[in-house]
């Protein structure tokens, strides 16, 4: 009997903000990811300040049938939130739901960021 292919989910996690406009940024990125990854579940979560929490995001992924969740800390630098807090919370929630979780590195000094910055500089 062939193994069932795991249904993958992508969970984008940012810090969370009291500013609704700031929180809409991660949601907009998630919508773009959904269009590029139509077979994957895509959810968002916030580390702090507003819902949904990381635990809520993992639960939503599991409820949608995901058996594997790739958590992406939507941060530039590999600070403590990206290296410690997000992975710790994601792994704890994943254990409660019996799903596999992997955590990516934050965006960091990706060369593509230089192009984004130059486009912003040219736009002013």
pLDDT (tens digit per residue) in 43-75: 999 999 999 999 999 999 999 999 999 999 999
pLDDT of residue 5: 58
pLDDT of residue 2: 46
For the chain, how are helix, strand and coil distributed in percent, rounded to 5?
45, 20, 35
pTM, rounded to two decimals: 0.91
- Whichever domain contains 13, its CATH number is 3.40.50.1400
Integer Cα distance of 91 and 104 in angstroms: 13
Q: Print the domain residue range for 25.
A: 8-123
Within a domain: residue 2? no
Within a domain: residue 107? yes
Within a domain: residue 104? yes
């Amino acid at each position: 009997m062939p193994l069932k292919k795991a249904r993958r989910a992508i969970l984008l996690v940012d810090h969370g903000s009291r500013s609704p406009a700031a929180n809409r940024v991660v949601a907009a990125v998630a919508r773009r990811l959904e269009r590029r990854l139509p077979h994957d579940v895509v959810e968002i979560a916030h580390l702090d300040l507003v819902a949904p929490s990381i635990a809520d995001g993992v639960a939503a992924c599991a409820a949608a049938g995901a058996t594997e969740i790739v958590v992406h800390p939507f941060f530039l630098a590999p600070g403590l939130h990206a290296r410690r807090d997000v992975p710790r919370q994601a792994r704890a929630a994943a254990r409660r739901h019996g799903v596999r979780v992997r955590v990516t590195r934050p965006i960091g000094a990706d060369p593509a960021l230089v192009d984004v910055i130059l486009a912003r500089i040219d736009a002013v």
